[in-house]
Structure 1
Amino acid sequence: MTSVSLLGPGDEPIVLGVTTPAAPVRVPTTRRYLMCPPEYFTVEYAINPWMDPTRPIDTGLAVEQWNALKETYERLGHRVELIEPVPGLPDMVFSANSGTVVDGRVLGSRFRAEQRGPEADHFRRWFLANGYKSVVMPERTNEAEGDFTWTGKYLLAGTGFRTDPLAHSEAQEVLGVPVISLQLVDPRYYHLDVALFVLTDDLIAYYPEAFSPGTREVLRRLFPDAVIATAEDAACLGLNAVSDGRNVILPVEATALADQLTRRGFDPVFVDISELRKSGGGPKCCTMELRN
């Protein structure tokens, strides 16, 4: 904010006007996503603090919410590819955890929880069946875009709860991109994609308290203009969001975050993920980006 002033009688300043810098013009880019219908979604085990097998689950509602998310992407001009769900794999809906794709190269996943282990091979076979030539399955535990976030310049790589820190160097070798390690410290935010998301190549939003002190300093240095989320926004998985450079798909409860995004020139697009959140997932968890 700037003002123009002159000196009046007695050298008292006279303010002539106040201007507020206009928000940047944000330009969306068309994306391609891989999603998995939640036909078999339920919560029958607990592998994160959000999951409680004793709580009732409405699979039909989860399907409705997922369909609304898919239709939102398509309405915004994005292309959605589908992988068939598999009985007995209730978390397969969270496709982001099963592959990281950069410039057509695919690094598959290796899950820490044995319940999700079989998902990785179903996605591997989907990639091969759909023309991907460079598909590498990891030796180290990595939960793909759950902990790997591509900015367009760097691969931000989370660790602390799921992904093995040695998987970061493996990702650099397979994908051929610079990797920056980030330490997660709050078990509620066990994956990077529930604590941080990319808005544009040089701008992120994140919740500082989810990270170690050293990681916070790294993020401040790399992204000094970052959007800082509130505790309330983080607690509703508001940072499990998806941006196309202008439109930001995020949970309906993340209102303070949406206000900040609007002031930065973005268009918040709300979706209801209340049923899927019972398993610790949101819009991003349901969405693997295919960067070809």
Structure 2
Amino acid sequence: MTSVSLVGPGEEPIVLDVPTAPVRVPTTRRYLMCAPEHFTVAYSINPWMDPTRPISTALAVEQWTALKETYEGLGHRVETIQPEPGLPDMVFAANSGTVVDGRVLGSRFRAPQRAAEADHFRRWFLANGYRDVVMPERTNEAEGDLAWTGRYLLAGTGFRTDPLAHAEAQEALGVPVISLQLVDPRYYHLDVALFVLADDLVAYYPEAFSPGSLRVLERLFPDAVVATEEDAACLGLNAVSDGRHVVLPVEAVHLAGEVAKRGFEPVFVDISELRKSGGGPKCCTMELRD
């Protein structure tokens, strides 16, 4: 047995005795992020958004900065894109591009309020040396609904991304695509229902998926971490893993304990203000897989 200490900001450590797990090795990642300088909740396009609730842009910036510094403290490189006035959800960079082996598939948003974000990110890619950039014809909310496992591209649909965009993704990125049907409107994107821990290992919330898609996940990932309702409800599955460290919301203590049992090291962040718009660590983080 191995003792694992889980510590959230301002909390007493929780010590778990867990079975000896595989040694997990992190890999250095490169991320693209956008500061929430214009963050607010001025409209509602998902069940988390309530324009009548008070919002602190300053607190959102503080939480985003802490997330960025967490990545940098783990040795990762963070690029940034200039936030644009009038685009309060541009902070959720994951929704604006999917990059695999240097190939870029841009985004096409379902909600008109976010549509302009796609071209800002397209221009960032071109200005930063990417030449293989494809913009989708079908609605495609990028890493919000597309998760690269190292072997497959898991592709969510049901609320945002058009299922026909999955075929576009396969053509643009040249990787096999597995379609998954989402059924709970609270978990409207794949990245709030599932995240990749390491090559061929994921964590997911079963009730977010249709029965057939759940059987697919069970077949592909028989050793997956299965999350609870409490894990999902704090957006615990909107997490980011580098193969060893798992950055996740501070409330996701149960999920942290489960990933610790698999040899991963949970790293807590506070995303309470950003969560008012339905986003968490992963939503703020596009991975640049060059």
TM-score range, shorter chain: over 0.9
1:191 aligns with 2:189: yes
> Alignment partner for residue 64 of structure 1, among 55, 62, 65?
62
CA RMSD of aligned residues (A): 0.9
Aligned partner letter, 1:274: S
> Alignment partner for residue 203 of structure 2, among 202, 205, 208?
205
Q: Distance in 1 between matches of 2:76 and 2:183?
A: 34
Q: TM-score, normalised by structure 2?
A: 0.94
Question: Which residue does 1:10 correspond to in 2?
Answer: none
Question: Which residue does 2:88 correspond to in 1?
Answer: 90
> Alignment partner for residue 278 of structure 1, among 253, 271, 276?
276
What is the SS of the residue equivalent to 2:151?
A: coil
Deviation at 1:59, TM superposition (A): 0.3
Aligned residue pairs, count:
274
Report percent identity of matched pairs. Answer: 84
Q: Report matched runs for 1:93-104 at 5 Å.
A: 93-104=91-102
What is the SS of the residue equivalent to 1:283?
A: coil
Question: Which residue does 1:48 correspond to in 2?
Answer: 46
> Alignment partner for residue 111 of structure 1, among 103, 109, 112?
109
Answer whether contact 2:42 2:51 (CA < 8 A) is retained. Answer: yes
Question: Which residue does 2:12 correspond to in 1?
Answer: none
Question: Which residue does 2:4 correspond to in 1?
Answer: none
Q: Report matched runs for 1:247-258 at 5 Å.
A: 247-258=245-256
What is the SS of the residue equivalent to 2:32?
A: strand
Q: Distance in 2 between matches of 1:194 and 1:21?
A: 28
Q: Distance in 1 between matches of 2:165 and 2:19?
A: 42
Q: Distance in 2 between matches of 1:25 and 1:46?
A: 43
Q: Distance in 1 between matches of 2:134 and 2:166?
A: 14
1:181 aligns with 2:166: no
Aligned partner letter, 2:239: A
Aligned partner letter, 1:26: R
What is the SS of the residue equivalent to 1:45?
A: coil
Question: Which residue does 2:147 correspond to in 1?
Answer: 149
What is the SS of the residue equivalent to 1:209?
A: helix
Question: Which residue does 1:36 correspond to in 2?
Answer: 34
Deviation at 1:21, TM superposition (A): 5.3
Q: Distance in 2 between matches of 1:221 and 1:94?
A: 31
Q: Distance in 1 between matches of 2:190 and 2:260?
A: 23
Aligned partner letter, 1:78: H
- Structure 1 runs not aligned, ≥5 long: 2-19
Structure label with greater radius of gyration = 1
- Structure 2 runs not aligned, ≥5 long: 2-17
Q: Distance in 1 between matches of 2:217 and 2:260?
A: 22
| Bigger RCO of structures 1 and 2 (CA < 8 A, at least 6 apart) | 2
Q: Distance in 2 between matches of 1:140 and 1:21?
A: 46
Deviation at 1:22, TM superposition (A): 1.9
